[in-house]
């Protein structure tokens, strides 16, 4: 049960929570992870905005950052004693959810584990919800790991921890 676990990662704290949960499951089931990072049109557009004035190749920069993220996540899994491999998808051959569900089918995964921000209302409409679409279209079970509540996330940030230490 759940021997092959697909974990989409994007470098966010919420994504890291999904990875942590996937590692826990893989340890229980002696499973393996496939860590997936997708570069899509939105991340490319945001990079163009973030690197305005950068004369280099934006896509190459995103690829380097994606590989670095994946290798860091792989090291985290391996440090916990969990086998992991990585996949970077940068072909713009579909939306994030299409590429994640295609990877789950092609690998083939028994489970997809991913972090979700849990946006609702206008925030979900404006930002979209890859997690919701993965949940809808995946042919395998999907475990969504919610983001920390804002107050808890702030207290667990480096600045929040520094404030707690100062108070002690």
**pLDDT tens digits, one per residue of 82-101:** 999 999 999 888 889 999 99
Tokens, residue 24: 């826990």
CA 149 to chain CA centroid, nearest Å: 18
Spatial separation of the C-alpha atoms in residues 26 and 160, rounded to whole Å: 31
The CATH code of the domain that includes 103 is 3.40.50.620
Write down the H helix ranges in 30-157: 41-50, 58-79, 96-106, 121-127, 130-137, 150-156
Q: Mean pLDDT over residues 148-157, rounded?
A: 52
Q: How many domains does the chain have?
A: 1
Mean pLDDT of the region 13-21: 95
Range of the domain at 44: 4-167
DSSP 44-70: HHHHHHHTTT--S-HHHHHHHHHHHHH
φ, ψ for residue 88, nearest 5 deg: -115, 125
**Closest C-alpha among 33, 41, 42 to residue 103:** 33
pLDDT of residue 80 exceeding 70: yes
Look up the pTM and report it.
Answer: 0.79
Q: What mean pLDDT do residues 64-75 have?
A: 96
Q: Which pLDDT belongs to residue 161?
A: 44
Give the confidence band of 124 by pLDDT, cuts at 50, 70, 90. Answer: very low
């Amino acid at each position: 049960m759940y021997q092959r676990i697909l974990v989409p990662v994007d470098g966010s704290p919420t994504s890291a929570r999904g990875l942590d949960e996937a590692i826990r499951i893989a340890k229980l089931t002696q499973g393996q992870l496939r860590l997936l990072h997708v570069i899509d049109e939105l991340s490319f557009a945001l990079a163009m905005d973030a690197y305005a004035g950068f004369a280099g190749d934006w896509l190459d920069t995103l690829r380097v950052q994606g590989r670095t993220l994946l290798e860091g996540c792989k090291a985290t899994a391996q440090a916990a004693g969990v086998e992991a491999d990585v996949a970077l998808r940068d072909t713009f051959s579909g939306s994030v959810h299409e590429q994640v569900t295609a990877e789950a089918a092609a690998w083939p995964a028994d489970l997809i584990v991913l972090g979700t921000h849990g946006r609702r209302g206008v925030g979900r409409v404006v930002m979209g919800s890859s997690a919701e679409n993965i949940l809808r279209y995946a042919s395998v079970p999907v475990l969504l790991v919610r983001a920390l509540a804002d107050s808890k996330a702030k207290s667990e940030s480096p600045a929040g921890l520094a404030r707690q230490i100062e108070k002690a």
